[in-house]
A and B are shown apart, each in its own frame.
Chain A
Amino acid sequence: MFLQQFANALALGSVYALFAIGFTLIFGVLEIVTLAHGAVFMIGAFAGLMVVTKFNANPITAILVGMMASGVLGCLIDLVAVRPLRKRKFHHLAPMIATIGCATIIISISQGIFGAEVYRFPFDFMPATSFNFWAIQLTLLQIIIVGVALSLMMIIIFLLKRTKWGKAVRSVAESPRTAALLGIPVERVFLLTAFAASALGGAAGVLTGINFNAIHAFMGGPIMHRGIAVIILGGMGDIRGAVLGGLILGFAEIMSVAYLSSDFRDAISFGLLFVILLVRPAGIFGSHIERKG
């Protein structure tokens, strides 16, 4: 029983982690909390659903299309809503509020197109196959979710650690001014970051859509709150923190439903986050210092 819940928690937690990585990446590099990340996540889910219902695509294609759609949307948000404010050096709350506006517009448009109803993937989209490992029964769905989420996390970490542009992203995260003095095109790095982070949000959207088999215009709301909680818990701007925070939240939710009461799920899991923050106010890996210039 416990091991089974363990598997469920891993699947839920890794999706949270994926969502939170995008969140924390944008915070770390652009220094804004993008409150449009939930809407970007929702668009990814719808894009994935579209290619499945219209073109009978397989889950991997659906995820890739969801990532592309969300990535492009993320760039659009940066270009239209965030960059103009950055150029004029507004207070950092201004771009955050602009992203709330973006979220509202995106959600309204989706609602206009898709209505308020809940969409589902076709019945035979995901075979109900399951595999037994010792005492745990893993569904194909869980394996795909965990596999995709872990692969994407490893890919993004590899890109950041090993590639020239990944290192440029980390340089800008530390100091846009120094990066500019080294000849790094800072605006392009911002855009690249917005794309990658939003694409991860889109992947999380498709995986969530498949996991709960429910896609609707407002699905980004709850995960936004969780995403914010997760990156604060993990330490703002820290990718390891987002992964660990996502997993902790996933486990807290699944275990409180399994062993306590589903009515108190959010109260218990957010209560746990609260307790962790009391012990480590800057988050688990928190060392975020105000960056210079």
Chain B
Amino acid sequence: MLLELKDVYVNYDHIQALQGISLDVKEGEIVALIGANGAGKSTALNAISGLLKMTSGNINYEKRPITGHSPQAIVRGGIIQVPEGRAILTTLKVRENLEMGAFARKSNRLKEDMNAIFARFPVLQAKAELPAGNLSGGEQQMLALGRALMAKPKLLLMDEPSMGLSPILVREIFHIITEINKQGTSILLVEQNAQMALDISQRGYVLETGRIVLEDTSANLLHNEKVIHAYLGGC
């Protein structure tokens, strides 16, 4: 087991954002976490990343507890989040964004790693010396992914990678995510686009107002009547 959440509660601003969720990600898996706006998907990722304090519950990573660890310690352990809205550092150059991706890693192979990113995302190389704020939405998502890969993650937490992108770009990004996964990175994928997320994942969880209401293989979830009705636009 790579990541395991056990009965995690998070309160903030007097709202019970997570009410005892348990989920796990095994090595090599893509796991989808789907649910409506405000269901607590991002809260779950931020609790894993150490940005939010949990009220109770435990998070284990590589069989060791990481509950209460600082965000830096969690990044150093190999859990990297690509947050909602990409969180590009717009005032830094594209190249500098990638460098900061490797901040927590003792890296003497920075150049080689960056060249590998440039090979995967040629558009980033072409714009390497520009402020990252100049990039389009799709390019920013690629930069966010490239920056996360600079950290050599074992587990990638992706928050709404499809947000604000055209269908063609969404397909491209999801293709890249599966490729990253094939090279050995496990992925916890938070999405409102349930169809896309379940298409590329092996297992999925459905989150509703802070609780996990369904968990199954993605293939089963795609045929689950409740999921079809609530998240896949079927009637």
* A184 to B147 CA separation, bound complex (whole angstroms): 13
* A184 to B81 CA separation, bound complex (whole angstroms): 13
Contact of A183 among B72, B96, B99 (CB under 8 A): B72
Contact yes or no, B100 A181, CB < 8 A:
no
* A182 to B87 CA separation, bound complex (whole angstroms): 10
Q: Which residue of A lies closest to B85 (CB)?
A: A292
* A179 to B92 CA separation, bound complex (whole angstroms): 12
* A9 to B53 CA separation, bound complex (whole angstroms): 53
Contact yes or no, B89 A185, CB < 8 A:
no
Q: Say how far B76's CB is from chain A's closest CB, in angstroms.
A: 6
Contact yes or no, A183 B104, CB < 8 A:
yes
Q: Say how far A288's CB is from chain B's closest CB, in angstroms.
A: 11
A178 within 8 A of B: yes
Contact of B100 among A173, A177, A184, A185 (CB under 8 A): A184
Contact of A175 among B72, B81, B89, B151 (CB under 8 A): B89
A170 within 8 A of B: yes
Interface set, chain A 179-238, CB cutoff 8 A to B: 179-185
Contact yes or no, A182 B100, CB < 8 A:
yes
Q: Which residue of B lies closest to A187 (CB)?
A: B70
A167 within 8 A of B: yes
Residues from chain A with Cβ under 8 Å of B99 in the complex: 164, 167
Contact yes or no, A171 B100, CB < 8 A:
yes
* A181 to B51 CA separation, bound complex (whole angstroms): 8
Contact of B51 among A174, A177, A183, A184 (CB under 8 A): A177
Contact yes or no, A178 B83, CB < 8 A:
yes
* A167 to B92 CA separation, bound complex (whole angstroms): 8
* A185 to B76 CA separation, bound complex (whole angstroms): 11
With most chain B CB atoms within 10 A of its CB, the pick from A171, A177, A178, A183 is: A183
Contact yes or no, B96 A175, CB < 8 A:
no
A168 within 8 A of B: yes
Residues from chain A with Cβ under 8 Å of B87 in the complex: 175, 177-178, 181
Interface set, chain B 60-115, CB cutoff 8 A to A: 70-72, 75-76, 80-81, 83, 87, 89-92, 96, 99-101, 103-105
> Mostly helix, strand, loop or mixed at chain B's interface?
loop
B49 within 8 A of A: yes
* A194 to B147 CA separation, bound complex (whole angstroms): 28
* A192 to B8 CA separation, bound complex (whole angstroms): 35
Contact yes or no, B71 A164, CB < 8 A:
no
* A180 to B49 CA separation, bound complex (whole angstroms): 9
Contact yes or no, A171 B71, CB < 8 A:
no
* A179 to B80 CA separation, bound complex (whole angstroms): 12
Contact yes or no, B91 A174, CB < 8 A:
yes
Interface set, chain A 156-178, CB cutoff 8 A to B: 164, 167-168, 170-171, 173-175, 177-178
* A170 to B75 CA separation, bound complex (whole angstroms): 19
Contact yes or no, A170 B92, CB < 8 A:
yes
Q: Say how far B83's CB is from chain A's closest CB, in angstroms.
A: 6
Q: Say how far B14's CB is from chain A's closest CB, in angstroms.
A: 15
* A245 to B151 CA separation, bound complex (whole angstroms): 40
Q: A167-B100, A168-B100 are in contact. Are A181 and B83 (CB under 8 A)?
A: yes
Residues from chain A with Cβ under 8 Å of B104 in the complex: 182-184
Residues from chain B with Cβ under 8 Å of A180 in the complex: 51, 71-72
Q: Which residue of A lies closest to B96 (CB)?
A: A167
Contact yes or no, A174 B90, CB < 8 A:
yes
Residues from chain B with Cβ under 8 Å of A183 in the complex: 71-72, 75-76, 103-105, 151
Residues from chain A with Cβ under 8 Å of B71 in the complex: 180-181, 183
* A75 to B64 CA separation, bound complex (whole angstroms): 35
Q: Which residue of A lies closest to B91 (CB)?
A: A174
Q: Which residue of A lies closest to B147 (CB)?
A: A182
Residues from chain A with Cβ under 8 Å of B49 in the complex: 181
22 pairs of residues in contact across A and B, judged by CB atoms under 8 Å: A167-B92, A167-B100, A168-B103, A170-B89, A171-B92, A177-B51, A178-B87, A179-B100, A181-B49, A181-B51, A181-B75, A181-B81, A182-B75, A182-B100, A182-B101, A182-B103, A182-B147, A182-B151, A183-B103, A183-B151, A184-B72, A185-B72
Instruction: Give me 11 other A-B pairs in contact (C-beta within 8 A), A181-B51, A181-B83 excluded.
Output: A167-B100, A168-B100, A175-B87, A177-B51, A178-B87, A179-B100, A181-B80, A183-B72, A183-B151, A184-B103, A185-B70
Closest 7 interchain pairs by CB? A183-B104, A183-B75, A178-B87, A180-B71, A183-B72, A174-B89, A185-B72
